[in-house]
Amino acid sequence: MEILGTTLRIYVDDTAALDTTAAFYERITGTRAQRFERGGVSVAAVGCFLVMSGPREEIDLLRKVTATVAVKDVEEAHITLTAAGAQIVAGPVATPVGRNLIVLHPDGSVFEYVDRGGPSHGRQEP
């Protein structure tokens, strides 16, 4: 399984804070935020930062995920992680920017694994 990088998760209280926080990370990274909504949670992905705001119940659930790990291929990650003793919590499922997989590691850590779902998976790069 090829790991390409990690994403740092930032949780904010509301849409105004999301806009302000995303603008800050746009300035320091020099990149524009990719914005989308999923399950009632508003998301701004800026470089290696993922800024999220939404209903408390959804955010509390998302806070259980320690980090987001970018991989070349979620299916390959699924096979490797399962063989190593990890438990698949959810996925793989399609997202606005690729596919993801939520995994419980044997040590109790919960990680999200994502890929971009590029042309080899029948999707276009965002």
The answer to whether residue 126 sits within a structural domain is no
Band of pLDDT at residue 123, cut at 50, 70 and 90: very low
Residue 43 has pLDDT above 60, yes or no: yes
CATH code for position 110:
3.10.180.10
The answer to whether residue 98 sits within a structural domain is yes
| Residue 98 pLDDT | 84
Residue 113 has pLDDT above 90, yes or no: yes
Domain extent for 101? 3-121
| Residue 124 pLDDT | 30
The answer to whether residue 84 sits within a structural domain is yes
Q: Virtual CA dihedral for 113, 116, 122, 78, nearest 10 degrees? A: -20
pTM: 0.75
Q: What is the mean pLDDT of residues 116-125?
A: 43
The answer to whether residue 53 sits within a structural domain is yes
Q: Cα–Cα distance between 23 and 31 in angstroms, integer?
A: 10
Q: Could you tell me the two tokens for 72?
A: 């070349």
Number of compact structural domains in the chain: 1
pLDDT digits (tens, 9 = 90+) for 7-23: 899 999 999 999 999 99
Q: What is the mean pLDDT of residues 87-92?
A: 94
The answer to whether residue 82 sits within a structural domain is yes
| Residue 122 pLDDT | 36
